[in-house]
A and B are shown apart, each in its own frame.
Chain A
Amino acid sequence: MRFRLTLAVLTALTAACGSSGTAGSSGDPSGSGKATISYAIWDKNDQASAEKIIAAFQQANPNVTVKLEITPWDQYWTKLQTAASGGAAPDVFWMNSLNVRMYAKGGILAPLDESKTQGLTPAVVDGYRYDGKLYGLPHNVGIPALWYDKKIFDDAGVAYPTADWTWDDVKTAAKKLTDPSKKQFGILAHMWDQGAFYPTMYQAGGEVISADGKKSGFDNPASIQGLEFWTSMIQEKVAPVAEVYADTDSITLFQSGKYGMFYGGAWLAATFAANPEVAERIDLVALPKGPAKEAVILLGLANAVSAKSEHPKEAAAFAEFVASEPAQKILADAGGGALSLREGTQDGWFKAFPNFHLKETYDASLPYGVPYPVSLNTAQWQDVQNKLLAEAWAGKRPVADVAKEIAAQMNEILAKE
C-alpha cells in the first residue's frame, strides 16, 4: 500500500530533522568568554536600524553576539507572556510603559542603572519606573501632532495652522474647511488616547489619573471639557460620525484627501512619505493649546533586560548601548518610523523627511511633554474607558455621564491594585 511507503519515508525524515534541529542554547559551557544574547522587537520597519546598532555594538564588544528576533505586534505580547511564564524571556526586549509595571512586579525584569538616563527626556523615562527602580531604558519618543492637508486649506483660503494655535482656531478652521457637497470634513475625530483625547484632557486642566496613580481623573470637569472638544465637533458635523473611523482607520481616511486636519503621530512621517502623492500635500505642526495650558503626551519604547538572562552584564550593556549617543544617531539617521530620544541626536531623522516640519514640531512640543498616564494594570481600566467612551463618541450618551461612569469603575479597579 502506498500509505505504508509514505509513512516509512516520513519516519526517516522526522528522524533526520530531529538530529539537525538542535536548540540554539545561549549558554557558555566552554568558558571562552563569548556570549550570545537575544534581542526581541516587534516592528519590521526597525529591522534595518536595529541591525546597524547591533553591528556597532558587536564591534565594540567582540565577545558578544546579538541575535535579533522580530515578532509582529499582534503576537508579540502573547509570545512574551508565554516565554516569560516559562522562564525563557529574551535577554533584551522591547517594552512599553503600558506593560512595564506588570512585568517588573512579576519579577521578569532586571532593574537598570539609573545614571544611564542622563540626556533622555524625563517625561518618557518616568514611564519606566516602578517602586523607585528603573526597568527600561527608553530609546525612542513618539510625539503626537496636528497633521493638515495643505490642498484643502488652500482651496478654502484658510491659513495653515501654526504652533500657537488654540482650540478655537481648530474649531473655526474645521467649520470653514467642511463642505458637505464634496463629502469633505474639516477634521477627523477618531477616538484615540495618546494623541487626541488624553492631551485635550490635560490641555483643559484635567487629568487621566492622579499623580499617585490611585484615583481616576475622568470625573474632573476639566477632563470632561477635554473630551467634549472631540464629541462637539462630531455633533457640529465638522468631523465624520464615529462609525466612519470604525469602517476605515483614520490614517487611511486622512490620506484620501477629504479631511482637513488629523491628530496623528509624528512617527507617521515614514508611513506618509511612502505614499508620494500624499507626502507632497500634507504637513504637521505641534498640538494646539487648550484653555488651560499646552500639553502633549510623550510615549517612548524602552529596552528591558530579563531578570533570568544568562548574560545579565552583556544584556544590560546592550540595552544601555541602544540608548547611547552613537546608537541613537544610527537610529535617527535610518529615517524609519522611530525618532531617537536622546537630545541632540535627531537631526538625521528630521532631514530624512524634508517635506515635513518635523524639527519645528519637535522643538515646540518637547517643553510641554506629559508622561503617558499609567497604573499597575493600565490595560484593565483602558478597556473600560474605550468601551464607555465609544458610546459617547457614537452620540448615544452625554460625555459627562460616561466620564463619571468611567471614573467610578476605574477607581474600583485602582483600589484593587
Chain B
Amino acid sequence: MHSKREWAWGYLLIAPMALGLAVFYLWPIAQTLYLSMTESGVFGGYTWVGTANFAELFGDEEMYGTLGNTMLYSVLVLAGVPLSIVVAALLNVPGLRGLSVYRTLYFLPVVTMPAAIGLTWSYLFNGEFGAINHLLGTIGIDGPYWLGDERFAIYAIAIVGIWSSIGYNAVLFLAGLQGIPRHFYEAAEIDGAGRMRQFFSITLPLLTPTTFFVIVITMINALQVFDLVYLMVDAGSPALAGSRTIVYLFYQTGFVQNQRGMAAAIAVILLALILVLTAIQFRLQKKWVHYE
C-alpha cells in the first residue's frame, strides 16, 4: 500500500474517536492545565499565579504522604494481578464441572452495589467483632483495628481493591486466553508437556498482550483510588493520615474546600506521574510482550 494513502486511512479511522475525546476529555484537561496556574474559588474569579500552586504542593509534607500512600496501594494492587491470571486460567479449564457457575460468582463483585461492598468489608475488618480478627484469633494472633489504625488501613483497602478487580481482570484474561491458538497446546500435548509446563511455556507468553494491558490499566486506576478510601475511612478517622490518596486530596481540595486552582494543580501532578509511569511501561514492554 502507498504510504500516503495509509496515512490518510489512519487519520480517517481515528478521527471520530479523536474528535469525541477532544471535546469531552482533552478540552477539560486543557482547562485544568490553565486552572492549575490560577488561584480560584469555586465560582470564577481566577487570578493568575503561575507555578505558585505547584510550589506550595511540593513544599507540603502532606502531599508526599498522600503520594506514598497512593504508591503503596498501587504496588499492592498490582501484586494481585497474577491472582487474576490464575483465576482466569482455572475458569478456562475445559471439562471442569460447574464452571459457568464459578464464572458467574467471580463476576458478582462487578455488579454488587458499592454501599454493600463497603458495609460488608467493614464488618469483615471490624476490630471488635470482625470475621477476619476472629479467624486470626483462632491461630493466636490479636488482630488490629484494620480500618482505624493508620498503619493497617491502606492494606485493608488494597485487599478490597484486589478483590473487586479480580472479576474485571478475569473477563479480560478470559478473552485473551481465547486468542491463543489451540494447535500450540495440541503440539505440546504430543511432546508430553504437562499442564504446568503448558501454562508457563504457552499460556503465559501468548497472554502477554492482555497482561500488559491489564497491568497498565490496573496501575492507572490504582493511582487514582478514591472511592474505596472514601467508603471505608471516616473523615475524622486517625487512619486517614495513612490512607489519604492523591485523588482523595484532590476531591477534598476541590469539592470540599472549594479551591479549584489548587485541586487542578494536584490533578496535573497526578497526570504527569501516571504519564511518566505509563511511558516507562510502554518502553519496557518490548522486553517481555509477545505480539505476533
Contacts and interface: CB of A to CB of B under 8 A. Distances in A.
A393 B238 contact: yes
A249 B233 CA distance: 10
B100 interface: no
Interface stretch (B37-45, B171-179, B211-219): B37-45
B240 to A, nearest CB: 7
Interface in A275-311: none
- Main secondary structure, interface of B, reads loop
A106 B43 contact: yes
Given A78-B255, A102-B258, A242 B43 contact: no
A246 B128 contact: no
Interface string A73-112: 0000110010011000000000000000011011110000
Contact of A379 (B145, B233, B256): B256
Given A246-B237, A391-B238, A379 B43 contact: no
B41 A102 contact: yes
Contacts of B41: 102, 105-106, 377
Interface residues of A, number: 34
A394 interface: yes
A102 B256 CA distance: 11
Interface residues of B, number: 31
Nearest to B255: A78
Given A387-B240, A390-B241, A246 B234 contact: yes
A81 B255 CA distance: 8
A247 B238 contact: no
Contacts of A244: 127-128, 145, 148
Interface in B39-73: 41-45, 62
- Main secondary structure, interface of A, reads helix
A210 B45 CA distance: 27
A385 B9 CA distance: 58
A248 interface: yes
Contacts of A390: 236-238, 240-241
B278 interface: no
A293 to B, nearest CB: 26
B81 interface: no
Interface in A212-270: 242-249
A389 B240 CA distance: 12
Contacts of B267: none
Contacts of A108: 43
Contacts of A81: 42, 255, 258
A243 B238 CA distance: 7
Given A84-B43, A386-B235, A387-B241, A247 B127 contact: yes
- Which of A77, A190, A249, A379 has the largest count of B CB atoms less than 10 A from its CB? A379
Interface string A32-45: 00000000000000
A78 B258 CA distance: 10
B257 A247 contact: no
Contact of B128 (A102, A192, A248, A249): A248
Interface string B205-248: 00000000000000000000000000001111111110000000
Contacts of B240: 387, 390
Given A85-B43, A102-B258, A106-B42, A247 B145 contact: yes
Contact of B238 (A105, A242, A380): A242
B255 A77 contact: yes
A191 B236 contact: yes
A343 interface: no
Interface of A: 77-78, 81, 84-85, 102-103, 105-108, 183, 190-192, 242-249, 377, 379-380, 383, 386-387, 389-391, 393-394
Given A246-B147, A246-B234, 7 more contacts: A81-B255, A106-B41, A243-B148, A247-B127, A387-B241, A390-B240, A393-B238
